Structures are given as structure tokens and as C-alpha cells.
Amino acid sequence: MASNPSVQVQVAQGRALASRRRRERLHTGLTYLILGVSAVILGMPFFWMATTALKPIQEVVIYPPRWLPSEIRLENFVEAWQAAPFDRFYINSVVTGVATTLLQVLFALFMAYAFAFIAFPAKNLLFLLVLSTMMIPVEMKLVPNYLLLKELGWINTYWALIIPPAAHAFPVFVLFQQFRTLPRDLLDAATVDGATHVQTLLRVVAPMSRPLLAAVALVSFVGRWNDYLWPLIVTNKVAMRTLPIGLAYLKETQEGGNRWNLLMAGTIFVVAPILVLFIFTQKQFVEGITRGAVKG
């Protein structure tokens, strides 16, 4: 108790610093451990998909399996492409994916603008009606929608793949949230200049929201590309199928042969465009997904 208090403090500080450093190192080690294990587990399917797609069939069925192919067999891709009409699947996926995305964003742009800036009676109630569609799963509308599309003669057409999913509450909600934060003065100035709502929307609001529009479009496109259930219901001809269902078709036709190298090549056909898109637009993409969720 007699020792100098300032020395005591120094010693204590030194000890605290050392223990903090030790803890820091421990934390970094732990961080890399968690990240490494996660990356291996989360990335394993991609690794196995890629290596299997390149293996000759003997190396696929061999036990125990090999991590890497001994020779790279690119013919797998050619054979997979020929085993099912992948050219059709691609055209169907790209055309319906792009068209639906454009319509979704366009319709959402106008609707979000109307809800954000134009006065109308009972607007809140109408907005709730829009949001409520997010609560209603596609799954529970399958039977009536199928009947309706049959009545319209839309089964096995692009109409069925494009029009019903073209209205979506999610982009409306995300854009609406953004529009509310735009400075009112700017819009008022445009109105004073005698601009109509269409002009204000296209010349002021839309250009200011361009990054978000891109983000919303990305999320929409990936959602359409990956969709399995809707195209499964509204098409039944092989030539009208989209890529995910085309892959299931490839699986059925290859089932007996267990030609997993071809199946994995087919899988790459389906996921590669999305992965490439994601890698180049990651920021906007994550932005688009998180925007609708986190308030304010």
C-alpha cells in the first residue's frame, strides 16, 4: 500500500496494454478462423460444381473422389448444351427476365412517384393495399392464376412469364422510401416552371434516383432469373421453359446415366450469368436488397 501511486498506475496501464494486445491477437485469429471455415463451407458447392463439370465421367464416380480433375474436359459443356435445348432456355430466361425487370421498374417508378408526390384521397389505405400483396405468397394464388391464364390462352406464352410478375410491391416500397427523402424545393421549382408530373418524374426524380433504380432492377432481374415455381406452372412445353426448369429437365433425361459432369456443366449455364452480374454489381445489389428492409 506504500508504493508510489503513479508507478502503480503505470504498471497497471502497461499490463492492461499487454493484455489488450494479446486479446487483439486472439480476436484476429478467431476472426480468421470463423471467416476461413465459413468460406470453405459456403464456397464448397461452387468449387465442387466447377471441378465436377470439368472431370471425365470415370473421375466423377470414382471412390474416394478427387478434388481436382486430372484432365480438363471441356466437351462436357458441349454435350450438356446438346442434351437439352439450352439455347431456347437461355432465350426464354433472358427475354422474360429483361422484359419483366423493365416493366417492374417502370411501373414501380410511376406508382412510387404518385404515392410520394401527388395528393389523392385515402392514399394511405391504397398504399397498404399495395404492401399487402407482399404478404400474399405466389403459392396460394397458383390454382386461380393457372385457370385464369388458361382462360386467356396464355399458357406456354411469354405473356404468362412476363405480365403477372411485372407488378411487384417491393420496388414500389424501396423507391417510395427514397422519393420521400428528396428535397421538396427541387420538385416545387419544377412545378413552378410549369412541368407536368410526367416531366418532373422523368427529368428530375428519375435521374436523381438512378443508382437506386439500377439496384432495384438488379434485384428484380435476379429474382426472375432464379424463379422456379411460376414458370413451372405457366409453361409445360420444353421449348417454353426457363433455365432453372431446363436444368431439372436435363436432370430427368440424364438420371439413369448418372452423368454428373454434364449436370454440373448445365448448372454452370444457369448460375454463371448471375454470378458474373453479382461480382460486377455487388455494391448496388446489396444496397437494393437491404434498402427495403432497414427503415430510414
Contacting another protein within 253-272 (CB under 8 A): 260, 263-264, 267, 270-271
Contacting residue, 2, 7, 74, 118, with another protein by CB under 8 A: 118
CA angle at residue 42 from 248 to 32, to 5 degrees? 170
Candidates 5, 58, 64, 256: give the one binding another protein (CB under 8 A): 64
**Residue closer to another protein, measured from CB, 111 or 174:** 111
Give residues with Cβ within 8 angstroms of 288, minimum separation 6: 174, 212, 215, 216, 218, 219
Enumerate residues 76-115 that contact another protein by CB under 8 A. Answer: 103, 107-108, 110-111, 113-115
What is the grid cell recorded at 54?
470439368
CB of 2 to another protein, least distance (A): 25
State the Cα–Cα distance between residues 182 and 201, nearest whole angstrom: 12
CB of 113 to another protein, least distance (A): 6
Tell me which residues in 180-239 interact with another protein (CB under 8 A): 196-197, 222, 225-226, 228-229, 232-233
Site membership for another protein, residue 32 (CB under 8 A)? yes
Nearest to 231 by CA among 136, 158, 131: 158
Q: Shortest gap between Cβ of 181 and another protein (angstroms)?
A: 17
Among 9, 12, 17, 30, binds another protein (CB under 8 A): 30
**According to the binding rule CB under 8 A, does residue 282 interact with another protein?**
yes
Q: Is 153 left (phi over 0), alpha (psi -120 to 50) or beta?
A: left
88: exposed, middle or buried (Cβ count in 10 Å: 0-12, 13-18, 19+): middle
Can you tell me whether residue 69 is helix, strand or coil? coil
Tally the C-alpha atoms within 13 A of residue 75's C-alpha that lie toward its C-beta: 5
**Does residue 125 bind another protein (CB under 8 A)?**
no
Binding piece for another protein, criterion CB under 8 A, among 5-13, 77-85, 203-211, 241-249: 241-249
Q: Which three cell numbers, joined as nine digits, stand for 272?
A: 454463371
Segment contacting another protein by CB under 8 A, of 2-10, 34-42, 76-84, 182-190: 34-42
